[in-house]
């Protein structure tokens, strides 16, 4: 079997490993044996991933486990209360008890749904994360956040519920669509920009190799990203100390643009644009130099990511969406800004006129 790299994520409520490597999906049955379970295993996945890997995972696990494959809609459509109820009913019908296990096989949306179901079914059952997209591998699958959508907004109803482990097999990215793969790279860049100048320089120098899913450089970048995410979650498990908020660099503007585009923008594309504008806002507010913003935007452009809003954007509507951001406090827009590459800061009151000026004129 391929070599496996283990990252320990330690929080006040739970300690668990994040495994990273190539071809390590074959370890899954053995890893499931590492905690008490009833032998029943539900693999929750979407239609796209099911067609690619559903039978393989079923065959892999069925040697030891009674496997139930539950296929849900693609993308954000699966994060719906009606889908949650259907999954509950399938678990009940299949005789799943408190010691049964859920395997989340897919991207961030499948991970959100699976974590929410695992946290609430019979007041909490075992679950593990097996992310298949770059975005989920380096970010969404790690940290215990799980949420679903309601008519009033995205990720409004959610829980903190950690998996028993996260298994990151970079080989899944071989079937990743290029646009989605590049979208995930935005989150990789983010770790360097906001936390580590050294890692940022690695990304900047090796950006061409990062576009090759078979490269050692990509495997290293995924592993380092997982380490960054695990270390931040360990310090701020429930996102209350302002430390974990640093990982939202690019997300205040990004989430607003993502929603404004009616989710035609990929999450990472919106975050890439957000990172550029938040770097420019950092310059406008005197936190950093113009060269810092130029450097960030240039690296994102090298990776084929967008860095500016499209024509005709209603900035007032975008600002309205920013006011609903979870970091907002007492109606004030909060945003992660830059002092320098590798040195981010959470600013809890960013003037709206500055945001509007930057988005309008750059």
241 catalytic, yes or no? yes
> What CATH code is carried by the domain that includes residue 200?
1.20.1090.10
Calculate mean pLDDT across residues 269-294: 98
Query: In this predicted model, what pLDDT tens digit does every residue of 241-256 receive, in sequence order?
Result: 789 999 999 999 999 9
- Both tokens assigned to 337: 């800004």
Position 37 scores a pLDDT of: 87
Query: In this predicted model, what pLDDT tens digit does every residue of 37-80 receive, in sequence order?
Result: 889 999 999 999 999 999 999 999 999 999 999 999 999 999 99
d(CA 306, CA 293): 14
Does residue 222 share a domain with residue 134? no
Active-site residue identified among 22, 162, 182, 251: 251
Position 325 scores a pLDDT of: 85
- Both tokens assigned to 68: 């139930």
Active-site residue identified among 190, 229, 280, 327: 229
353 catalytic, yes or no? no
Position 330 scores a pLDDT of: 81
Active-site residue identified among 248, 258, 280, 327: 248
> What CATH code is carried by the domain that includes residue 114?
3.40.50.1970
Q: Are 72 and 82 in contact (CB under 8 A)?
A: no
244 catalytic, yes or no? yes
Does residue 241 share a domain with residue 202? yes
Q: Write down which residue in 116, 146, 175 finishes a domain.
A: 175
Q: Write down which residue in 123, 144, 175 finishes a domain.
A: 175
229 catalytic, yes or no? yes
Does residue 243 share a domain with residue 148? no
Does residue 253 share a domain with residue 192? yes
Does residue 188 share a domain with residue 143? no
Q: Write down which residue in 130, 145, 175 finishes a domain.
A: 175
Position 28 scores a pLDDT of: 97
Active-site residue identified among 40, 164, 182, 244: 244
267 catalytic, yes or no? yes
Does residue 330 share a domain with residue 357? yes
Write out the residue range of the structural domain in which residue 144 sits.
Answer: 4-175
Does residue 156 share a domain with residue 126? yes
Does residue 297 share a domain with residue 284? yes
Q: pTM of the predicted model, to two decimals?
A: 0.95
Does residue 242 share a domain with residue 128? no
Beta-strand (E) ranges in the chain? 4-10, 15-21, 40-46, 66-72, 101-106, 126-131, 145-150, 153-160, 166-169, 335-340, 343-347
Q: Are strands 40-46 and 101-106 parallel, antiparallel or unpaired?
A: parallel
123 catalytic, yes or no? yes
Does residue 326 share a domain with residue 229? yes
Does residue 145 share a domain with residue 98? yes
**pLDDT of 1 over the 60 cut:** no
162 catalytic, yes or no? no
Active-site residue identified among 12, 36, 82, 123: 123
Active-site residue identified among 77, 89, 177, 241: 241
Position 72 scores a pLDDT of: 98
Active-site residue identified among 68, 79, 145, 224: 145
Position 127 scores a pLDDT of: 97
Does residue 200 share a domain with residue 160? no
187 catalytic, yes or no? yes
Query: In this predicted model, what pLDDT tens digit does every residue of 26-49 receive, in sequence order?
Result: 999 999 998 888 899 999 999 999
Query: In this predicted model, what pLDDT tens digit does every residue of 186-229 receive, in sequence order?
Result: 999 999 999 999 999 999 999 999 999 999 999 999 999 999 99
Active-site residue identified among 22, 40, 79, 267: 267
- How many distinct structural domains can be found in the chain? 2
């Amino acid at each position: 079997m391929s070599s496996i790299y283990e990252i320990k994520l330690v929080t006040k409520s739970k300690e668990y490993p994040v495994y990273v490597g190539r071809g390590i999906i074959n370890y899954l049955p053995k890893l499931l044996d590492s905690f008490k379970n009833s032998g029943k295993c539900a693999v929750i996945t979407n239609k796209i991933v099911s067609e690619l890997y559903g039978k393989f995972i079923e065959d892999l696990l069925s040697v030891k486990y009674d496997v139930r494959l539950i296929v849900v809609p693609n993308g954000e459509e699966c994060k719906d209360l009606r889908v949650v109820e259907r999954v509950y009913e399938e678990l009940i019908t299949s005789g799943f008890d408190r010691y049964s296990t859920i395997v989340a096989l897919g991207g961030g949306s499948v991970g959100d749904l699976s974590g929410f179901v695992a946290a609430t079914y019979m007041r909490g059952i075992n679950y593990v994360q097996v992310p298949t997209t770059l975005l989920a591998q380096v970010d969404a699958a790690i940290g215990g956040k799980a949420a679903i959508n309601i008519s009033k907004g995205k990720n409004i109803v959610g829980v903190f519920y950690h998996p028993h482990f996260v298994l990151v097999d970079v080989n899944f990215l071989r079937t990743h669509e290029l646009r989605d793969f590049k979208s995930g790279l935005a989150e990789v860049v983010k770790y360097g920009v906001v936390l580590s100048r050294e890692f940022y320089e690695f990304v900047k120098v090796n950006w061409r190799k990062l576009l090759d899913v078979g490269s050692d450089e990509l495997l290293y970048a995924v592993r380092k990203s997982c380490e960054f995410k695990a270390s931040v979650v360990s310090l701020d498990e429930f996102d209350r100390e302002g430390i974990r908020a640093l990982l939202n660099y690019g997300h205040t503007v990004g989430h607003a643009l993502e929603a404004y585009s009616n989710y035609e923008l990929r999450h990472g594309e919106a975050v890439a644009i957000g990172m550029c504008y938040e770097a420019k806002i950092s310059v406008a507010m005197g936190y950093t130099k113009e060269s810092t913003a130029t450097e960030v935007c240039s690296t994102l452009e090298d990776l084929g990511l967008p860095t500016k809003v499209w024509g005709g954007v209603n900035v007032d509507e975008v600002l309205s969406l920013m006011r609903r951001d979870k970091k907002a406090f007492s109606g004030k827009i909060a945003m992660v800004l830059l002092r320098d590459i590798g040195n981010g800061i959470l600013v809890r009151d960013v003037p709206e006129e500055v945001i509007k000026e930057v988005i309008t004129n750059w």
